[in-house]
């Protein structure tokens, strides 16, 4: 391929990822909104962890939600702040960094990003951090590649359209982790595109370079499904659904390559006893210690 620029992870990757994977994020957002509606759960505020190119949040915003995204990569933060200036984007050092975050009605972590965490203890810490930052009745959704999928996964795939050429190489160590490399070649001057579409890329104008190469390599870790589910339960979630990509509940998770989790935070409701009628005696009324009673929803 002629005139390929030097490889780098920059805003170009955010653009390419949005073009190639953004539709998946938007679909998950729509399914999440539908789930909340059918379950009678309110969503006013949304936090998307490692929000990538912001497609999930954009769909939420279109439904009137107040949206916040976190990202580890400066390139995504820069891209999203330019594309969605009305949203809040926060740079974090790691996925486990929740400092300065508020509480939310919905917290999401999509595209198997949680597989980046290298230990089961890290997964447990992440689940607890999310739980702490959920409002009562709040929804936590995420998805992960199962051990069944990642263990022994060795593959090279290629795809192309008039805007992108895309190569993915996957290599597993067969023990605990799998490396996934994504390489994009962005067509800076696609003949089939109108000029208005070309402006979407907002890349520098390379007069003699047709393609811009951008790539990323990540390592994903896998664990037993039951161990992951136990970590979620230990974090305090009382309502848990395992689903497929269509949000259809599934029970036979041992046969699944990717699992979507919907977890609901339902804390016990604390009720105070009704106050006694005021006494009419002239002497000061005797006081009794209020005792709180706890009843589960």
Per-residue pLDDT, 21: 87
One domain for residues 138 and 184: no
Per-residue pLDDT, 13: 85
One domain for residues 22 and 111: yes
**How many separate domains does the chain show?**
2
Asked if residue 6 belongs to a domain, the reply is: no
One domain for residues 126 and 211: no
One domain for residues 45 and 101: yes
One domain for residues 132 and 161: no
pLDDT in tens, 43-72: 999 999 999 999 999 999 999 999 999 999
One domain for residues 241 and 140: yes
One domain for residues 259 and 137: yes
Q: Closest Cα partner for 143 from 219, 245, 34, 48?
A: 245
| The model's pTM | 0.82
Q: Closest Cα partner for 100 from 64, 70, 62?
A: 70
Asked if residue 275 belongs to a domain, the reply is: no
One domain for residues 159 and 263: no
pLDDT in tens, 149-184: 999 999 999 998 888 899 999 999 999 999 999 999
Dihedral, 77, 82, 87, 88 alpha carbons, nearest 10: 40
Q: Given a cut of 70, is residue 210 above it in pLDDT?
A: no
CA torsion sign, 166 to 59 to 8 to 209?
A: positive
The per-type count for the chain, helices as H runs and strands as E runs, is 7, 13
One domain for residues 61 and 138: yes
How far apart, in whole angstroms, are the C-alpha atoms of residue 25 and residue 210? 28
Residue 95 lies in domain: 11-145+222-268
């Amino acid at each position: 391929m002629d005139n390929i620029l030097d490889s780098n992870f920059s805003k170009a990757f955010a653009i390419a990822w949005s073009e190639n994977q953004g539709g998946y994020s938007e679909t998950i957002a729509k399914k999440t909104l539908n789930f909340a509606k059918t379950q009678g759960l309110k969503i006013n505020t949304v936090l998307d962890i490692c929000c990538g190119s912001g497609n999930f949040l954009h769909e939420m915003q279109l439904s009137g939600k107040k949206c916040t995204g976190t990202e580890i990569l400066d390139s995504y933060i820069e891209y999203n702040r330019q594309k969605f200036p009305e949203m809040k984007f926060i740079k974090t050092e790691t996925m486990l960094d929740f400092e300065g975050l508020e509480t939310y009605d919905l917290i999401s972590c999509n595209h198997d990003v949680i597989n980046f965490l290298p230990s089961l203890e890290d997964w447990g810490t992440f689940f607890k951090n999310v739980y702490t930052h959920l409002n009562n009745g709040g929804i936590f959704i995420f998805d992960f590649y199962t051990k069944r999928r990642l263990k022994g996964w060795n593959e090279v795939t290629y795809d192309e359209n008039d805007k992108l050429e895309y190569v993915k190489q996957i290599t597993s160590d067969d023990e605990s982790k799998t490396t996934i490399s994504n390489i994009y070649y962005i067509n800076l001057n696609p003949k089939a595109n109108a000029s208005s579409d070309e402006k979407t890329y907002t890349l520098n104008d390379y007069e003699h370079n047709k393609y811009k190469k951008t790539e990323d390599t990540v390592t994903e870790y896998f664990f037993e499904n039951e161990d992951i589910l136990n970590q979620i339960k230990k974090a305090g979630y009382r309502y848990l659904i395992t689903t497929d990509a269509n949000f259809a509940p599934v029970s036979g998770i041992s046969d699944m390559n990717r699992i979507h989790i919907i977890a609901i935070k339902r804390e016990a409701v604390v009720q105070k006893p009704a106050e006694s009628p005021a006494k009419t005696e002239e002497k000061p009324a005797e006081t009794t210690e209020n005792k709180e009673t706890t009843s589960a929803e």
